[in-house]
Amino acid sequence: MFRSTLVAALGLAAALSATVAAAGDAPLLTVVGPSGVQTYDLPALEAFPMAEFQTSTIWTKGSTRFQGVPLKTLLDAARISQGSVVAKAINDYAVEIPVAEVTADYPIVAYRMDGQVMSVRDKGPLWVIYPFDADPALQTEVTYSRSIWQLDRLAAGQ
């Protein structure tokens, strides 16, 4: 039942995104939660308080500066406070992130890398990213797998 509900919610979000995009306002992110369906373009994401950190990753060279919105901020806005959140990319790759493991500081939904808006080619336009250098406990396969790039949808899980 959870899976069919999630698939329906993500389908609704995709349909809504297509409708909004057809009207000329292409959202970068659709969030489905108890508060309904919310869509965000870059200016809407930038209107939230910005989080920023510098870290190395297994996908980039050297240390990279990321700027974005704390995932917790987006979850709070959608009233997602328990269970998990399913993060889905434009290629339909999906991961589950336990809400209890989301902190006020990380992960962030990054929209800039080294000060530049990210293109799809550069893992953008949105990337769930953790400050891997800040804590060796974040340097795990589980955390790496949750660092989903080309993010375009979030939905409340179980």
Handedness of CA 50, 56, 98, 148 (dihedral sign): positive
Looking up tokens 């269970």, which residue turns up? Answer: 83
Per-residue model confidence as pLDDT tens digits over 109-140: 999 999 999 999 889 999 999 999 999 999 99
CA distance 102 to 75: 9
What is the tally of structural domains in the chain?
1
pTM: 0.83
In which order are the strands placed within the sheet that holds 94-98?
Answer: 36-40, 29-33, 151-156, 84-89, 94-98
In this structure, what token pair is assigned to residue 87? 């993060």
Task: Extract the tokens encoding 158.
Answer: 């179980």
Range of the domain at 120: 2-156
Give 25's pLDDT tier (boundaries 50, 70, 90). Answer: low
106: domain CATH number is 3.90.420.10
